């Protein structure tokens, strides 16, 4: 246990700079307007905080990362603000803090994570706590603790309390011996990053818990996710977010991948839509527990050409990071997501032109963009 405690402190320090959260403490103190002293003496007040409807009661771990805040917003609109608890080990921004229930939650603390689930009568758990690819390679012991030990805690609690559990997977779950164009749902994986290895482990453990204990485990392999709402967080595909910020600020972008590096990508809204759809899909419609989802695939060069329609003077240069390039070269170029489209009706809304237009509509008030339009 002393090792895990020290890892937890290290996780807090690292994740504050990496954009990834790991997520447990006791209760949504701020959301219900009571003091920590009151919380300590009364652990039963949660039952009157939430509506008594049939909506799921949701906990999102690692919620201050790229996806958690957007997912919380979507789920609160659908199920009610107080039915969705966002959690992380980092301090939230004011807009997040005041938008709905938020708690401190450390996934390496099994006892307190269990208390959160019990005290708040959680029925759905979205487990987003993880260290991403490049960050994980820089600190393998920490990635192993957060991505694997944390997962085990979540699986055991979800099985014990009959939760519907969502754990995202990734293009990083594949390796250099996997078929790359296209990559099917079932094939050789063999990733060569701790991030990828931990995601394959999550897929298999979730499937095992489903067949062994009846856990309602659901998983999507995300492509690279692009969002205007968050800063890049250490992932190999994050160049596709940074290019927009740099194009607006300086008109220059230095890419750490080769210009011909093709990877599957998806706009955030499509990702969140797919996540909600898989969780709401009837169990009998699912033929597998882990699905690929896809929207588009492009290279840095193709993305730059589309961006130059809005910032014509964009200067694109390349300074290849060999670590990230090796990771990208082991990943799929295109996802085969035909099973998701067949089983539960997955359909994306954003292709590359719509993606770029949407990103600039959020980020761009710069004169260069106005002139281009």
What residues are annotated to the active site?
195
Write the burial class of residue 211 (CB in 10 Å: 0-12 exposed, 13-18 middle, 19+ buried): exposed
Which residues, at least 6 apart from 197, have a Cβ–Cβ distance to it below 8 Å? 191
Between CA 152 and CA 140 the distance in angstroms is 17
Between CA 170 and CA 196 the distance in angstroms is 8
Chain-centre distance for alpha carbon 55: 23
Block residue for tokens 């032109």:
353
Which residues, at least 6 apart from 263, have a Cβ–Cβ distance to it below 8 Å? 171, 223, 224, 237, 297, 298, 299, 328, 331, 332, 333
Between CA 102 and CA 357 the distance in angstroms is 32
Q: Is 281 in contact with 219 (CB distance < 8 Å)?
A: no
DSSP string, 132-160: -HHHHHH-HHHHHIIIIIHHHHHHHHHHH
Which residues, at least 6 apart from 351, have a Cβ–Cβ distance to it below 8 Å? 295, 296
Least Cα distance to 162 among 115, 199, 110, 121 occurs for 121
Extract the tokens encoding 285: 């419609």
Chain-centre distance for alpha carbon 297: 19
Least Cα distance to 182 among 171, 198, 194 occurs for 171
Between CA 23 and CA 130 the distance in angstroms is 9
């Amino acid at each position: 246990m002393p090792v895990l405690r020290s890892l937890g402190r290290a996780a807090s320090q690292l994740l504050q700079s990496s954009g990834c959260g790991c997520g447990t403490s006791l209760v949504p103190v701020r959301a219900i307007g009571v003091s920590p002293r009151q919380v300590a003496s009364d652990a039963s007040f949660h039952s009157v905080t939430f509506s008594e409807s049939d909506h799921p009661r949701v906990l999102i771990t690692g919620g201050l990362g790229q996806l958690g805040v957007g997912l919380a917003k979507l789920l609160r609109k659908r199920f009610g603000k107080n039915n969705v608890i966002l959690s992380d080990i980092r301090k939230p921004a004011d807009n997040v803090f005041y938008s709905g229930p938020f708690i401190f939650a450390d996934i390496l603390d099994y006892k307190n994570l269990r208390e959160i689930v019990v005290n708040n009568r959680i029925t759905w758990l979205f487990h987003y706590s993880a260290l991403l690819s490049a960050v994980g390679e820089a600190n393998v012991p920490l990635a192993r603790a957060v991505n694997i030990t944390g997962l085990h805690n979540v699986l055991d609690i979800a099985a014990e309390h009959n939760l519907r559990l969502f754990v995202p997977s990734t293009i990083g779950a594949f390796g250099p011996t996997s078929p790359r164009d296209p990559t099917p749902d079932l094939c050789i994986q063999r990733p060569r990053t701790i991030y990828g290895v931990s995601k394959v482990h999550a897929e298999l453990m979730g499937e095992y818990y489903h067949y062994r204990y009846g856990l309602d485990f659901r998983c999507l392999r995300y492509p690279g996710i692009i969002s205007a709402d968050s800063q890049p967080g250490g992932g190999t595909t994050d160049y596709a977010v940074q290019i927009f910020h740099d194009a607006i600020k300086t008109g220059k972008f230095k890419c750490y991948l080769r210009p011909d590096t093709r990877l599957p990508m998806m706009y955030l809204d499509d990702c969140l839509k797919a996540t909600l759809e898989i969780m709401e899909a009837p169990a009998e419609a699912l033929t597998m527990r882990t699905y690929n989802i896809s929207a588009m695939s492009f290279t840095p060069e193709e993305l730059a050409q589309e961006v130059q329609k809005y910032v014509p003077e964009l200067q694109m240069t390349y300074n290849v990071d060999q670590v990230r390039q090796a990771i990208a070269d082991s990943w799929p170029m295109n996802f085969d997501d035909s099973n998701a489209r067949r089983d539960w009706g997955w359909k994306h809304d954003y292709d590359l032109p719509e993606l770029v237009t949407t990103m600039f509509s959020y980020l761009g008030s710069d004169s260069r963009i106005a002139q281009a339009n």
